[in-house]
Each structure stands twice: as C-alpha cells, then as structure tokens.
Amino acid sequence: MSVNQSIKPITSEVKNNHLIVGGCDTVELAEKYGTPLYVIDESTLRKVCKEYVDAFKAYPNATVLYASKALATSAIFKIVTQEGLGLDVVSGGEIYTAYKAEIDMSTLMFNGNNKQEWELEAAVDVGVGRISADNFHDIELLGKISKSRNKAVNILLRITPGIDCHTHEYIQTGHLDSKFGFDLTQVDEAVKLVTSDYPLITIKGLHAHIGSQIFDTAGYIDEAKILANELARLNKEYSLNLSELNLGGGLGVKYTHEDNPPEIGEVADVVINTLSGEFKNLGLKNIKLYIEPGRSVISTSGVTLYTVGAEKQVPKGAKYISVDGGMADNPRPSMYQAEYTCDAANKMNNPKEELVTIAGRFCESGDILIKDIKLPSLVPGDIICIYNTGAYNYSMASNYNRVQKPGMVLVNNSQSDIIVYRETLEDLISQDNIPDRLK
C-alpha cells in the first residue's frame, strides 16, 4: 500500500492507551511542546519520497520535484532533497528558504502566475534551474532581467491543457477557465516572442498541472497526450529542440475512510506507459520528465495535536467539543469543506460512544474542524490528534484573532526535534509600529 493510501503516519501505534507516532508518545509531545502542535513523522516522509523515486525509475530520465507550497520549511527541504527530490517553488520566500538551507538551486523549478520582478531576479541570480513561464509578463520580465545580467535563462512554457479534473473548483488548475498558464491558442505567440526578441531565454519544454487531490488517473493520460503532441508540433513548426515535459502533480491522499486515491506506482505506470507510446508515435526521443507532487509527499506524515477545552450540548442537537486551535492553523475545512478524521490520543482504546463535532476556538461560526465524528467521552485536558495535516495546514496558517501560529516538531526513532518554533506574543507585535503622532 502506498503511503498516500494511509490516513495515519506509518509509525502509528498504540501503547498504554496513548497514540505513538515516530516512537514518541503524542500525549507527552503535547505536554512538552504545548498545543496546538504540528507533528511530522520523518519515517513516513522519507518512505513516500522513496516511493516516488522508485516508481519513476522505469522512465530513463525522470525527476520528482516536491511542490513545496504544501509545506515549506528548512528541515522539510533538507529531508526531501536528501531523498533525491528537487523542489517546485512558487515564491521568493520559498526560493530564499531553499537557498538558506543550502539546497542545490539547480534542482529548483520556479512556478506561479504572477511572479514579482524581484522574485525573478532572485531566481536568476541564485541559479534556479528552470522557470515556468506562465504568461507574457513573465517572458517580458525575464527578457529584461537576462539582458541586464547577461545571463542565460532556461524556461518551460506553462500551458492550460483544458482538462477538467474531478476536484474542488478552487484547486482545479488545468481547465480552460483558469488563471494559470497559456491557453493553447496563445502558445505560438509565446514561442515567437521568445525566439525573436529574447536571445538569452531558451525554451526547454512545456509544463502543465491539472489540479489537486486527484483520484482518477484518466486526467494524467489526457494531459500526457496533449503535452507530448504539443511538444512535437512546436518542434516541427519552429525547428525547436524542446526536450522536457513537466506534468505537475495533484495525486490525492486518504483523509477519511471513504477516500480511495490511486497508488503512487499506479500513477507512475499510467504516465510512463502513455508517454512512451506517444513519444514512439511522434518520433520524440530523450525527453526529460518532471513530476511535481506536493500533498501526497507530505500530508500523511503530519498530524496536529490539540487540547480539549469547553463543550456545548445543543438541546436535541449537536455536541460541540472545542479545542485550542482551529481555522487559523487549519483553514481547509472552512475554505474547501475538507474532511478529516481524528482520535483521542490519550484514550485510544476507550469505546467511541459519543457523536461530537470538533469546533475551533476562533470567532467564526464556520470554524469547525470535524463535523459528526464518534469519539470516547471527552473532558477538558484530553488530547485530540487530527490525521493527515502535513499539507496546507502550516503553510496556510494565519494569525487570525491575533493568535500565535503553532510550533512544529519532527519525530523519528523516539526522538523529537523542533523544526518550527511556536510564535510568541512578542512575535505577534514585532512588525507593529506606532507613528510618533499617536504617542
């Protein structure tokens, strides 16, 4: 079974009625580091990285890029690159994080629909390996930057293949009505602009991404065929030597027992077999393949620990159990109606006899983390563990209600280490300024 098909980290076990992850007692982690607390299981993360690398070994020239928007910290970058992955980055902040973590910058690909000029300058200056040009503005800025620095820039053209995958509308990125990429009718104009006006820019290939939390491999088949045929057409019509394809990522994970994502190997087989057939028919040889999974790399390794506080029993209605976090540290339920599952980490063997709703602490009626889940009878001080929170929890966290962001620890072989410090009250006001006229 692939890691993305598991709700819990692979090291999860129960001892003395407590949940253990990475050999660490989660109740003791909560006591030591406080809650809310993000916990990353290193063994799970390394295993899924190995799964991706092994799954794409059947293709002669494939590179797996971790889509770091899912979770970008210095320690996470170290782990995934140690396992042979490159990085897909989408901001100057992610580039800087990789640079300061001493990651090989040539293994980065810079993606995004509205890259700022300073970000593109930074990418060129530090030697980011590939830049995905999303639009004409990207090309014009890169032309200006490459000329001013007299420095060559390698790009992929991001295209919108017109594939409407079955996922939430906010995380579909490959359908025609999307803010991302060149429409297929615009690709020729983009190629002509680069080849005629910007001699220091080289188009190396094409890039697309069809969405996120994808459970159907058919979308990858359609995407691979469209990109391969477009690559062959451009090479023929413009005498180019495009030799790289980036199919993006988007493979789903198992948040609840009803979810059934494909295995990593299944997606790899579909992509490799489709491309091999298309390349043979089109006469394409030695094409480099990029794949850029994010959620399916990091999500399962992460859990979030909360402490139970107040409860409310609505007469003839729901029973609310409130915890000390919520939509500021996990906005996905309120944004996407995302579903999760959880356990009482200090009552793992107790009978699950109460139907409750896990509510957050923030001043919004929609701050609900999990609706209608059966758990043991809970009291203030119990520890709730929500599973599969490695992706898009910390990375989308905010200081809503002026609450500090949680810390994050890495667990492995019964050892725990802080990889993101919990924010303090001083951190919250560190960027505030009171003008002299108000003093």
Query: Residue type for 172, please?
Result: Q
Query: Residue type for 314, please?
Result: V
Could you tell me the CA-to-CA distances from 366 to 66, 363, 370 in Å, in that order?
A: 32, 9, 11
49 assigned to active site: no
Is residue 108 helix, strand or coil?
A: strand
> From its phi and psi, is residue 401 left (phi > 0), alpha (psi between -120 and 50) or beta?
left
- Neighbour tally for 406: CB within 10 Å: 27
Catalytic residue among 49, 165, 363, 385: 363
As a whole number of angstroms, the distance between CA 308 and CA 385 comes to 11
As a whole number of angstroms, the distance between CA 102 and CA 77 comes to 10
Q: Which string of DSSP letters, residue by residue, matches 13-48?
A: EEETTEEEETTEEHHHHHHHH-SSEEEEEHHHHHHH
The distance in angstroms from the start CA to the end CA of the chain is 62
Omega prior to 36 cis, within 30 of 0: yes
Pick from 175, 171, 106, 115: which is nearest to 139 by CA? 115
Q: Quick check: 190 and 157 in contact, CB under 8 A?
A: yes
Query: Residue type for 368, please?
Result: I
For CA atoms 65, 70, 74, 79, give the dihedral sign: negative
As a whole number of angstroms, the distance between CA 198 and CA 318 comes to 63
Rounded to the nearest 5 degrees, what angle is found at the Cα of 437, between the Cα atoms of 435 and 439? 80
As a whole number of angstroms, the distance between CA 398 and CA 404 comes to 8
Could you list the active site residues? 363
